[in-house]
Amino acid sequence: MTDPNPAGGRRDDSSRVRVEYDTRQVQFASQFIVSGSAEGILLELSGGTVTDDRTGEIILPIQTRVGLTAGGAKRLAEMLLRALEQIPAEGTANPSVHAARLPKLRPH
């Protein structure tokens, strides 16, 4: 699911936003560290833990860090909830519904 309004805010039909990707690389995240302060929210994402072969220590490598304002964090939470609501119930006959896809862009 992609939101037609990437910022998650209100749509203003007088201006259009064209989404361009710097990279097509996607990093999977299954572990999250979320912290907050008066300045905003910090979201740190990791694909999961790894074990240091030398010490046996379990390490959580952080691949991505995202800083959000309180308003931005609230919009992200709302968009994530909307995306989750659109996921079909367990046991759906059409597994391709879960396939990731790029947003449809209009040519200039």
Task: Please report the pLDDT score of residue 49 as a whole number.
Answer: 94
Residue 86: predicted pLDDT: 92
Buried b (16+ CB within 10 A) or exposed e, 38-59: eeebebbbbeeeeeeeeeeeee
Q: Has residue 65 been placed in a domain?
A: yes
- As for how many domains the chain has, the answer is 1
What is the model's pLDDT at position 1? 46
Instruction: Examine residue 107 and state whether it is found in any structural domain, yes or no.
Output: no
- Domain span holding position 52: 31-85
Position 10 scores a pLDDT of 56
**Per the structure block, which two tokens stand in for 70?**
């309180």
Tens-digit pLDDT string for the chain (108 aa)? 445 555 555 555 668 999 898 988 888 999 999 999 988 999 999 999 999 999 999 999 999 999 999 999 999 999 999 999 998 877 655 555 555 565 666 665
Domain-embedded: residue 95: no
Structural domain includes residue 5? no
Residue 94 within a domain:
no
